Structure 1
């Protein structure tokens, strides 16, 4: 099912983001670590449709909303 695949992608990118976040916080002056962390931020933002890494992480940690993104209820409700 597509929803499961999307959820798997979000979960995978969130784990990657958190791992690189820890490495970056431990070594903020390392340009290679910074570049990988920025890549992880960009990937997480892409799968969550958020522009900020922190917002993307928060969105990834919340359970999926069953309503469409427009905030409207599904037909019949």
Structure 2
């Protein structure tokens, strides 16, 4: 697998994780409105771990797209 394919795959995985997080937040809000605060709280607590790592994941993905080897010059 090439570096570009790995970067693309990791970016796609990150996007999918963000979509799942958004869906889980919507479910937690719905559960909250139904009156089951403990269940909604458990979902939100689980999502906090994802949110805590979000900045680190973004930095890692950005560094993958920016860290390129210097071109080799022929002599």
The TM-score with structure 1 as length reference comes to 0.48
Relative CO higher for 1 or 2, CA cutoff 8 Å, sep ≥ 6? 2
Larger Rg: 2
Higher helix share: 2
